[in-house]
Structure 1
Amino acid sequence: MDDGSKKDIMFERMREKKKEVKIVRRIVLVIVLVLVLIGLIGGRYVYKYITGALQPMDPDSEKVIEVEIPIGSGVDTIAAKLEENGIVKDARLFKYYVKFNNNSQFQAGTYGLTKSMTLDEIIESLKTGKVYREPVFTMTVPEGLTLKQIAKIVEKSTGISEKEFLAYVNDEATVNMLMGKYSKILTEDIKAENVKYPLEGYLFPATYPFFEEKPSLETIVNSMIQGTALNVTPYLDYLQSNDKSVHWLLTFASLLEEEATAQSDRETIASVFYNRLEIDMPLQTDPTVLYALGEHKDRVLYSDLEIEDPYNTYVVKGLPPGPIAGAGRSSIEAVIDPSKTNYLFFLADKKGVNHFTDSYNQHLKNRTLYLSGD
Structure 2
Amino acid sequence: MSDNKNDQSHTEKQEQDKIVHKLENRAKEASLVRKIVLICFVLIVLTVGGAIGGAYVFITSAIGPVDEDNSELKEVEIPMGSSSAGIGEILEEEGLVDNSTIFRYYVRYRNESGFQAGTYELSPSMNMDEIIASLKDGRIDEEYNLIFTIPEGRWLEEVMETIAEETEHEYDDLMDLMTDEDYLQELVSQYDILHSSILENEDIRYPLEGYLFPARYDFTDENPSKEDIIEQMVARMEGVYNNVQAEYGSTDYSAHELLTLASIIEGEAAGDDEREAISGVIYNRLNRENPMRLQMDPTAVYGYGERVSSPTREQTNAENPYNTYQIDGIPPGPINNPGAASISAAFNPDEHDNYYFYHDTDGTIYMSETYEEHQEVLREHRDNQ
Separation in structure 1 between the aligned mates of residue 318 and residue 299 of structure 2, nearest angstrom = 11
Task: Give the match for residue 187 of structure 1.
Answer: 195
Deviations 1:63-89 (A, max 9, x none): x98x76443323676689x8xxxxx9x
Deviations 1:197-225 (A, max 9, x none): 10001000111111111111111111111
Tell me, yes or no, if structure 1 residue 327 matches structure 2 residue 338: yes
Tell me, yes or no, if structure 1 residue 220 matches structure 2 residue 229: yes
Separation in structure 2 between the aligned mates of residue 75 and residue 237 of structure 1, nearest angstrom = 12
Task: Give the match for residue 297 of structure 1.
Answer: 308
The answer on whether the counterparts of 2:244 and 2:344 sit within 8 Å (CA) in structure 1 is: no
The answer on whether the counterparts of 2:263 and 2:338 sit within 8 Å (CA) in structure 1 is: yes
In structure 2, relative to structure 1, the CA distance for the partners of 1:79 and 1:134 (3 Å cut) is farther
In structure 2, relative to structure 1, the CA distance for the partners of 1:193 and 1:138 (3 Å cut) is same
Q: TM-score, normalised by structure 1?
A: 0.71
In structure 2, relative to structure 1, the CA distance for the partners of 1:226 and 1:150 (3 Å cut) is same
Separation in structure 2 between the aligned mates of residue 109 and residue 308 of structure 1, nearest angstrom = 42
The answer on whether the counterparts of 1:273 and 1:344 sit within 8 Å (CA) in structure 2 is: yes
* Paired AA for residue 345 in structure 1: Y
| 247-256 or 128-137, larger mean C-alpha shift | 128-137
Specify which of 111, 117, 141 is matched with residue 119 of structure 2.
111
In structure 2, relative to structure 1, the CA distance for the partners of 1:255 and 1:126 (3 Å cut) is closer
Task: Give the match for residue 158 of structure 1.
Answer: 167
Tell me, yes or no, if structure 1 residue 168 matches structure 2 residue 177: yes
For residues 14-163 of structure 1, the aligned pairs below 5 Å read: 69-74=78-83, 91=93, 98-99=100-101, 107-111=115-119, 124=131, 126=135, 128-131=137-140, 134-163=143-172
Separation in structure 2 between the aligned mates of residue 306 and residue 128 of structure 1, nearest angstrom = 45
Tell me, yes or no, if structure 1 residue 338 matches structure 2 residue 349: yes
State the Cα distance separating 1:121 from its structure 2 match: 7.4
| 92-101 or 197-206, larger mean C-alpha shift | 92-101
Number of positions where the alignment pairs a residue of Structure 1 with one of Structure 2 = 304
Task: Give the match for residue 270 of structure 2.
Answer: 261
Taking only aligned residues, the RMSD between alpha carbons, in angstroms, comes to 3.3
Q: TM-score, normalised by structure 2?
A: 0.69
Tell me, yes or no, if structure 1 residue 211 matches structure 2 residue 217: no
Separation in structure 2 between the aligned mates of residue 234 and residue 264 of structure 1, nearest angstrom = 20
SS at match of 1:209: strand
The answer on whether the counterparts of 1:345 and 1:356 sit within 8 Å (CA) in structure 2 is: yes
Task: Give the match for residue 348 of structure 1.
Answer: 359
SS at match of 2:342: helix
SS at match of 2:313: coil
Separation in structure 1 between the aligned mates of residue 136 and residue 297 of structure 2, nearest angstrom = 38
Q: Which runs of 5 or more structure 2 residues have no equivalent in the other structure?
A: 1-65, 108-112
Deviations 1:113-132 (A, max 9, x none): 6xxx8555799565653459
Deviations 1:291-310 (A, max 9, x none): 11111134422232221111
State the Cα distance separating 1:158 from its structure 2 match: 0.6
Q: Which runs of 5 or more structure 1 residues have no equivalent in the other structure?
A: 1-53, 83-87
Separation in structure 2 between the aligned mates of residue 228 and residue 221 of structure 1, nearest angstrom = 11
In structure 2, relative to structure 1, the CA distance for the partners of 1:315 and 1:128 (3 Å cut) is closer
Separation in structure 1 between the aligned mates of residue 273 and residue 88 of structure 2, nearest angstrom = 30
| 220-229 or 346-355, larger mean C-alpha shift | 346-355
